[in-house]
Amino acid sequence: MNPIIPKALSSLIEAFAKLPGVGSRTAERYAYYILKSEPQKADQLSEALSGLHSGIAICPKTFALIEPGQELSPLYTDPKRDKTIVAVVAEPFDIVALEKTNSYRGTYHVLGGLLSPIDGIGPEQLRIKELVDRVDEDKVKELILATNASVEGESTALLLTQQLGARKVKVTRLARGLPVGVDLEYADLITLTRALEGRQALL
């Protein structure tokens, strides 16, 4: 234990430092900000964190995040949505990025990550079987592979096309308006819109 910093503050710094992309200095700034703020801010943050897992459910069809008690994602049950078009994304927040474009009226499927053997993520860790089942059940006509333009994204796209086998489904990829190495959720709206409109067929 650091004798200069009280245990309560040190524990908070350590907790922030465990977040991805947060270094020790940033963790210290976050902790000091909470300390200097009114106690209500700390209480609000604590309450939000304590209710996080119990306040979120997973759609069994699309694997998008939904409210507890909801059976399916509204992005799937909405009658204005075309169930025969499915955008395949790595993580739930990729859906948020695509929805902000107001250019897509299909449904989604969250894989839960990207193929990355070095990180221990293989085909069995991804929701590929569930996607193939959806292709059959919903008579899907087009799959839009909206994964990141990275080695992992390309490997995942290739694996998906292989798993589809001889199924007669159009497989497209977001156009290369997306810069290599940029995560989908950080792309600007114009780039995402052009990428959707200029998607290209793989099969």
Residue 15 and residue 99 share a domain: no
Give the CATH number for residue 99: 3.40.1360.10
- As a whole number of angstroms, the distance between CA 146 and CA 64 comes to 15
CB 118 within 8 A of CB 150: no
Question: Within the chain, which residues score under 70 in pLDDT?
Answer: 1-3, 176-182, 190, 194, 203
Domain ranges, residue 194: 57-201
Whether residue 95 is contained in a domain is answered as: yes
Closest CA to 143 of 202, 64, 56, 66: 202
- As a whole number of angstroms, the distance between CA 14 and CA 64 comes to 30
How many domains does one find in the chain? Answer: 2
The DSSP secondary structure of 43-66, one letter per residue, reads: HHHHHHHHTTTTT-EE-TTT--EE
pTM of the model: 0.78
Residue 86 and residue 104 share a domain: yes
- 41-51 pLDDT, tens digit per residue, is 999 999 999 99
Residue 101 and residue 83 share a domain: yes
Residue 111 and residue 14 share a domain: no
- List Cα–Cα distances, 131 to 2, 88, 163, in angstroms: 50, 9, 10
Whether residue 1 is contained in a domain is answered as: no
- 102-134 pLDDT, tens digit per residue, is 889 999 999 998 878 777 787 788 999 999 999
Residue 40 and residue 16 share a domain: yes
pLDDT score of 118 = 78
Whether residue 197 is contained in a domain is answered as: yes
Whether residue 127 is contained in a domain is answered as: yes
Whether residue 90 is contained in a domain is answered as: yes
Whether residue 103 is contained in a domain is answered as: yes
Give the CATH number for residue 24: 1.10.8.420
Residue 174 and residue 115 share a domain: yes
Sign of the CA dihedral running 149, 155, 156, 160: positive
pLDDT score of 177 = 60
Residue 112 and residue 27 share a domain: no
Residue 89 and residue 34 share a domain: no
Burial class (CB in 10 A: 0-12, 13-18, 19+), 25: exposed
Separation of CA 8 from chain center = 33
- As a whole number of angstroms, the distance between CA 112 and CA 128 comes to 10
Residue 67 and residue 45 share a domain: no
Residue 163 and residue 84 share a domain: yes
Residue 191 and residue 114 share a domain: yes
